[in-house]
Amino acid sequence: MFGPAAVPLLSRATTNHDLDVSAAANELLQKACAESTITGPIPSASRLLADRRTPGATEVILAYLPAAPSTLLATVAQRALLDLSTIQGKPDPSFERTLANADPAVRAKAQTALELARRTASSNDCQQVFPKGIKFPFRRQVYHDDKKDREITVVDVQFYSQLPDSIFANPP
Amino acid sequence: MVRCSTGMLVSGCLSALTANAAADQDPKETIRQAITAMGGIENMRLIRATHTRFTSHVYLEHGSAELQGEIWQQCPDRFKQIVQINLDGKTGTVVYTVRGEDAWSILSGVQRQLDGLGRAELCATLFEEYVATLLPLLEDQRLTLTTVPVKAVNSRPAHGIRVALAKLPTVPDVTIFFDQETHLPVQRQRQRLNRLREDGVESVSEERISDYRTIDFRIDAEKRLHDAGIDTSDASLLAFLKKQVLSEAERARCQELITQLGDDSYAVRKEARKERPCSDRPRCHS
C-alpha cells in the first residue's frame, strides 16, 4: 500500500485545476491521512524499533524521515532517531558509524532532524511521552447524590508533554 | 437497605480503628505514597497532557444511553471533550471545550458560549481533573490540603484528603480517597454546582475509580500493529517502514494514477480510482 506515503503527491493534487482530480485527490487524501495519525501503525513501528534498538533501525528511520508525510510523523521519527543516537546517556558508537556511512544528503538531513529533535525534546512543543510503569485507571463509576449516573470505560490513553494549541481553538 | 447498613457499619468500624492514624498522617505524605504507587514522581512529571478515548453507559430516568468519545486535557486550564451519543437509534455529537477563561459547547454543529452555572460546573470538572493528577498537590501553593476521616471504599479503608483552592471559593473543594493498602486514588467527590437537590441540600458528585492498569507503550504499540494486520517481529517492522518510502518508479506511477483521476475517458478515471494510488500499493509495482 502507498498509504500515507502518497500524502505529499495527493496534497498537491487537491489544488489541481481539474475538479475531477482535486475532488478525487481530496477523498483519497482523507483516507491516507487517517492512517497518518499518532495512533496509527507507523509511529508504533518506529517507536518499537527504537525501543528494541533493532539492528538496521537507524538506517530505515533515516530513510523514512525525509518521506514522512506530516509534521506529526516526522516528529515521531525524529524522536526515535534521538533515542537511538544515545545509549545510557552517552552517544551510541553504532549510531555514529551508521550516520557517518550514510549518503551525504541523508546525513545532512539526519543531523538537521536530530538537532530539531533535541530542541523539541527540551522545549514545550507538542510531544508524545512514553513513561514506563505508569498506572492508569480504566474504569470510573459516577454517582450523583448516591444514584449511579454513568459508567466510563477507558479504551486508550496517550500521554503528552504538551498538546497543540489548535486542539483547543475556538472555531471561527 | 441491608447492604447500606452493612456498609455504614463497616465504615464506622474502620473510621474508629484508623481515624487517629489518618489524622496523624501528613496529607502530603499520603500524596507522595500515591504518586509512588502510580509510577513515581519522575514519570508523573513527564505527563503534562493526556488524550483519552472512552465508552460510557449513562443511566437515564427512563432507560439508558451509550456514549463514546475522547478527552484532550492539558491542566490546569485546557479541556476538550467530544462525545457521540446514541439514544434510541439516533446519534448526535456534543463538544465541550475550556480554554482559560473561555468555555463553549457545540451541539449538532451549533456553537454556544457557556456562562453562569454551566461554565462554573465545567471549570469545576477541570479543577477536579487537575488535582487528580496529584503532582499539583505537592507543588501548587494555592492549594490547601486537609485530612478527612478514613472511610470504606469498596469495603476497604481509604484515607481522604480534601483539596481547596485558596482565593477562589467559587471552585468547590475536591476530596480524594486513597486505598490504605495500595495507596492508589479510589474515589473523588465534590459539590455539583449546576444542580440542587429537592430538599435544598447541595448535590454531590462522586466518582469511584478502579481497574488500574500499568501503561506499557510496547504492548499498546504491538496491539495496534496486530490490529492493522502487521507482524511485530523486527524484520517485519523494518520491512513495513521501508515500504513507506516510495521509490522513484512508485512515485512516477502514483503521479500517473493521480493524473488519470481527471482523464477525459471515464474508463481510465474509473480504473485509476479502482487502483487507488494511496491505498493499493502493490499494484503500483506492476
Q: Is pLDDT above 70 for A3?
A: no
Q: Is B44 on the interface with A (CB under 8 A)?
A: yes
Closest CA to A116 of A159, A158, A66, A163: A66
- The pLDDT tens digits for B60-103 are 888 888 999 999 999 888 999 999 988 777 888 899 999 988 89
Q: Find the CB nearest B57 among A40, A137, A150.
A: A150
Q: State mean pLDDT over B183-211.
A: 84
The CA distance from B194 to B189, in Å, is 15
**For residue B113, which phi and psi values (nearest 5 degrees)?**
-70, 135
Cβ-based burial of A59 (10 A; exposed 0-12, middle 13-18, buried ≥19): middle
Residues of chain B in contact with residue A134, where contact means CB-CB under 8 angstroms, are 38-39, 43-44, 47, 214-215
pLDDT above 70 (res B262): yes
Please give the pLDDT value at position A54.
94
Asked if B158 and B181 touch (Cβ cutoff 8 Å), the reply is no
Q: A71-107 pLDDT, tens per residue? A: 777 778 888 888 888 887 788 888 888 888 877 877 7
Q: How far apart (Å, rounded) are the C-alpha atoms in residues B194 and B114? A: 12
C-alpha span between B82 and B96 (Å, rounded): 7
A155 touches B at CB < 8 Å: yes
Q: What is the ipTM of this complex?
A: 0.74
B238 three-class SS? helix
- Which chain B positions have a beta carbon within 8 Å of A138's beta carbon? 211-213
pLDDT at B155: 92
pLDDT, position B160: 94
Q: Which range is least confidently modeled, B62-71, B156-165, B263-272?
A: B263-272
**Mean pLDDT score across all residues of chain B:** 82
In chain B, residues 126-165 whose CB comes closer than 8 Å to chain A? none
- Interval B106-134: pLDDT, tens: 987 788 998 888 888 888 888 999 999 99
C-beta of residue A167 within 8 angstroms of C-beta of residue B71? no
Please tell me the least confidently modeled range out of A44-53, B9-18, B118-127, B150-159: B9-18
Q: Which long-range contacts (CB under 8 A, 24 or more apart) does A118-123 make?
A: A118/A82, A120/A75, A120/A78, A120/A79, A121/A79, A121/A82
3 state DSSP class of B86: strand
Kindly state the cell numbers that stand for A119. Answer: 530542541
Full DSSP string of B92-142: EEEEEEEETTEEEEEETTEEEE--HHHHHHHHHHHHHHHHHTSHHHHH-TT
Residues B237, A54: C-beta atoms closer than 8 Å: yes
pLDDT for residue A153: 96
Task: Please give the domain boundaries of chain B with CATH numbers for all domains.
Answer: 2-211 (2.50.20), 218-284 (no CATH)
Contact A161 B40 (CB under 8 A): no
Check pLDDT > 80 for residue B222.
Answer: yes
Report A:93-132 residues touching B (Cβ under 8 A): 129-132
pLDDT for position B199: 66
